[in-house]
C-alpha cells in the first residue's frame, strides 16, 4: 500500500528545515531507523554531502539516521533495501536527469508501490506526479524525459502563489502558466501552497495543512479545495 507525504516545501518562513513537518514525519517513519536520502536536486548548487548533512541534522531530532543515495555503489539495490526514502527539493530538471542517469525510476516506483514510506518536498514532490512539466524551476539541464513516478494520478505545482493584486509585475502568474500547460495537456494540476501537503495511503490522497489548494482541470475554472479533501476521485 502506498505511503507518501508529498509536501509543497521543506521550510516555512521563520522555521528550521522540516520543522513544521517533524510531528508527521515521526509517525510516517515510525518503523524506520534509517532514511535513504536522494540529494540529487541540490538546491542552490550545494553538494550531495552538504545536503545530506543538512537533512541528517533535521532527522536526528526524531532519532532517525540518514544516508545519502550518492554513498552507495549500487543505487538500485539501496532503494530496494531502503526502510524509508526522502527526496529533497532543489531543481527538478537536475533531479529528474539524475534519476534517469542512474536508472532508478523503476526502482523508486516499485518501492513506493510496495509501501516503502516516502517523503518528497518541492522537487521531490514534483516527481510524484505523472510528469515534471508543471515545475517552477529553470531548465538548467535537459532530462531524457519529463515522465516521473506517477505515484499520484495528477501533476503538482509546489510553492503555488496566488496573483498579487497590489503588484505592478505584469509577467505571467502561476495560473497563466498552468493554463498554458493545459493548452496541450489534459492532466489535472494541483497548486500546493506553502505549509500544505498530501498524505497518500493506498488509494487515498488527502490534503493536509491549514490552507486550501487550487485544482486546475483542462477547460475549467480553477477550484479551491479544502484541507481534508480526498483526491481519490481523480484516479
Nearest to 68 by CA among 92, 91, 44, 98: 98
User: Could you tell me if 133 and 146 are in contact, meaning their C-beta atoms sit under 8 angstroms apart?
Assistant: yes
CA pair distance 44, 140, nearest whole angstrom: 12
Out of 8, 97, 122, 125, which one is annotated catalytic? 122
204 in active site: no
* Active-site residue flag, 122: yes
- DSSP category for residue 193: P
Q: H or E stretch including 168?
A: none
Sign of CA dihedral 59, 61, 64, 65: positive
Asked if residue 187 lies in contact with residue 165, where contact means CB atoms within 8 angstroms, the answer is: no
Single out the catalytic residue among 97, 137, 151, 196: 137
H or E segment to which residue 37 belongs: strand 34-38
Q: Which of 48, 56, 147, 159 is catalytic?
A: 159
Catalytic center residues: 122, 137, 159
Amino acid at each position: 500500500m502506498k505511503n507518501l507525504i508529498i509536501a509543497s516545501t521543506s521550510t516555512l518562513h521563520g522555521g528550521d528545515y522540516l520543522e513544521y513537518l517533524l510531528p508527521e514525519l515521526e509517525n510516517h517513519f515510525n518503523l524506520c531507523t534509517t532514511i535513504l536520502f536522494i540529494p540529487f536536486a541540490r538546491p542552490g548548487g550545494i553538494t550531495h554531502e552538504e545536503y545530506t548533512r543538512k537533512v541528517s541534522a533535521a532527522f536526528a531530532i526524531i532519532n532517525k539516521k540518514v544516508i545519502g543515495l550518492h554513498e552507495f555503489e549500487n543505487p538500485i539495490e539501496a532503494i530496494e533495501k531502503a526502510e524509508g526514502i526522502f527526496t529533497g527539493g532543489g531543481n527538478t530538471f537536475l533531479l529528474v536527469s539524475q534519476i534517469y542517469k542512474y536508472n532508478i525510476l523503476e526502482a523508486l516506483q516499485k518501492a513506493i508501490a510496495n509501501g516503502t514510506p516516502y517523503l518528497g518536498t518541492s522537487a521531490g514532490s514534483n516527481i510524484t506526479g505523472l510528469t515534471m512539466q508543471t515545475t517552477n524551476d529553470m531548465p538548467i539541464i535537459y532530462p531524457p524525459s519529463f515522465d516521473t513516478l506517477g505515484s499520484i494520478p495528477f501533476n503538482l505545482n509546489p510553492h503555488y502563489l496566488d496573483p498579487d493584486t497590489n503588484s505592478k509585475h505584469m509577467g505571467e502568474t502561476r495560473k497563466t502558466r498552468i493554463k498554458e500547460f493545459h493548452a496541450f495537456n489534459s492532466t489535472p494540476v494541483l497548486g500546493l501552497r506553502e505549509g500544505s501537503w498530501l498524505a497518500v495511503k493506498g488509494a487515498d490522497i488527502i490534503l493536509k495543512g491549514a490552507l486550501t489548494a487550487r485544482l486546475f482541470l483542462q477547460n475549467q475554472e480553477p477550484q479551491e479545495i479544502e484541507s481534508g479533501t480526498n483526491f481519490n476521485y481523480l484516479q
